[in-house]
Amino acid sequence: MAKKNFDLPTPNVEPSVKPAEETASGKGKKNVATKKANAKKRKPIGRFFRDIISELKKVDWAKFKSTKASKGVLAQTGTVLLIVVVFIILITAMDIGLSELLNLLIGAAAA
């Protein structure tokens, strides 16, 4: 049998902000590098909405009416609704059938 050795080396990880240094100074000031990193992570709310509008302009929206090149939104919506109705009928029929089968099994076990 092969010898199983599960001893894995663990890397030494040092925290980026040392709590001992913050409490030793007495002021609890944040590191300047941390402030700059946090400032880069934050986006102004206006820039956020400009980015959203920019991305929405890149979307290839479907045409409302049908054309020779593609079906319109109404035709696609009708197709989706038809498929949903078919699956509702199938799932309901399976549910009723399995419920009746369960009732037959319970009735046979009670008799």
Domain that holds residue 42: 30-110
Residue 22 lies in a domain: no
Residue 75 lies in a domain: yes
Note the pLDDT tens digit of each residue in 19-56: 555 555 545 455 666 766 666 666 688 888 999 999 99
Residue 42 lies in a domain: yes
Domain count, the chain: 1
Residue 13 lies in a domain: no
Residue 76 lies in a domain: yes
How buried is 57 (Cβ within 10 angstroms: 0-12 exposed, 13-18 middle, 19+ buried)?
A: exposed
Residue 20 lies in a domain: no
DSSP type of residue 3: P
Here the tokens at position 81 are 């609704």
Sequence-distant (≥ 6) Cβ neighbours of residue 75 within 8 angstroms: 66
SS3 of 48-96: the string is: HHHHHHHHHHHCCCCCCCCCCCCCCHHHHHHHHHHHHHHHHHHHHHHHH
DSSP 98-110: HHHHHHHHHHHHH
Residue 90 lies in a domain: yes
Note the pLDDT tens digit of each residue in 63-109: 888 788 778 888 889 999 999 999 999 999 999 999 999 999 999 99
